[in-house]
Amino acid sequence: MRKLQKLAAGVLETVLAGTALHQALPQGLQQLHTPGERGALQDIVYGSLRQLGRLDAWLAALLERPLTDPQLGWLLRVALYQLAYTRAPAHAVVHNAVTAAGQGWRRGLANAVLRNFQRRRAELDEIANAQPSAHWSHPDWWIDTLKAEHPHRWQDILEASLLHPPFTLRVNGRHGDVASYLRRLNEAGLPAHQTGPDAVTLDRAVPVHDLPGFDAGHVSVQDAGAQWAARLLDAQSGERVLDACAAPGGKTGHILERADVDLTALDVDAARLPRVQENLDRLQLHASLIEGDAVHPERWWDGQPFDRILADVPCSASGVVRRNPDIKWLRRPEDIAQFAAQQAVMLDALWRLLAPGGTLLYATCSIFNEENDGQVRAFLARHPDDAERCTLPEPLSNGSLLPDAEHDGFFYALLRKT
């Protein structure tokens, strides 16, 4: 446990210094030898980031003065997380953290902080609950934005963003339906339930290769909210389709599962395209993969218009922070405006590639208005003569799919070229 604590503290320190979690965590995982250890490290790091606001408040209340040793601070946050949110024996957590802290005052301080936390837990919870950033474990600016934009749902959104994300699969309709796959899961001793037209959510996550038919392409891992993209795009067989920001290929595969289309999968990062190809190979489906920037179609487009375009644009990812909990601590308010400006340019560039009568599905995994409905309204104002917004079905009547226990947060707008 001592090694796990030190590795987790190191990963957290690296992330909060500005390195994305998906880059920092593998460095720690490489130093562990068993799947159990690697899983434990991932759980500690992800959980600590989800609850970082509360951990910070607890630690500040337990210290008489600000800590001058950052490494010790991260070690103490890890131990506090283990004491509060895991089943690890408290005596082992404290003993190993105190030993890992080192000698002298560091050892004494670690012991005092962790012992006091156990004695003062109720009092510390009251202190944390009085601070919005600690109670909700999100930055104050984030909370204030949600209050303003979702006055009746902001608490539900924040609560959902602290949950462990569901483990959801997309059933490939070319190999059966949801009911038949649920039976296969039941026979394999994997309880699950339906959470969307093509979605099943397991009661617990398992290695993907343990899933019936996964290696044969019968199912893919994909959030139930993300599965709306292909259904709303509704590409028909024979049509020419562009997936404009395709990697890692989940939505690409779903579009092809639903119809035999001529699909171009575009991504600006060539290093991410092999992942798209791997997914297509497993599904035994085909698309044309192109490295290119959606903002500059003149560098890759062949001049033939597309009947359907999926514009799953870069965004703040504020709707998927429980899967990427570093995001809420690394984002800044000014980032949202920068994403919105980039999205507007991309949307205008892709619109030129759409055939008359064709549809473009604008999609984000954001819950902020500036990237969502505000972006679409601004686009329609720029294109009053050739763009109209299509009505979406429930539960997406206003385009927003807010995060809850069953799915992450997304936004969709279907635009038709008149």
Active-site amino acid positions: 365
Tokens of 57: 């408040």
222 C-beta neighbours (distance < 10 Å), count? 20
> Which residue from 168, 207, 211 is spatially nearest to 186, judged by alpha carbons?
211
Cβ atoms of residues 389 and 356 within 8 Å = no
Alpha-carbon span 134 to 137, nearest angstrom: 5
For 343, residues 6+ apart whose C-beta sits below 8 A from its C-beta are 313, 314, 315, 364, 371, 375
Tokens of 152: 């009746």
Read off the DSSP letter of residue 137: -
Name the β-bridge partners of 17: none
47 C-beta neighbours (distance < 10 Å), count? 21
- CA distances to 198, 223, 232, 258, 282 from 255, rounded to whole Å, are 12, 15, 10, 5, 15
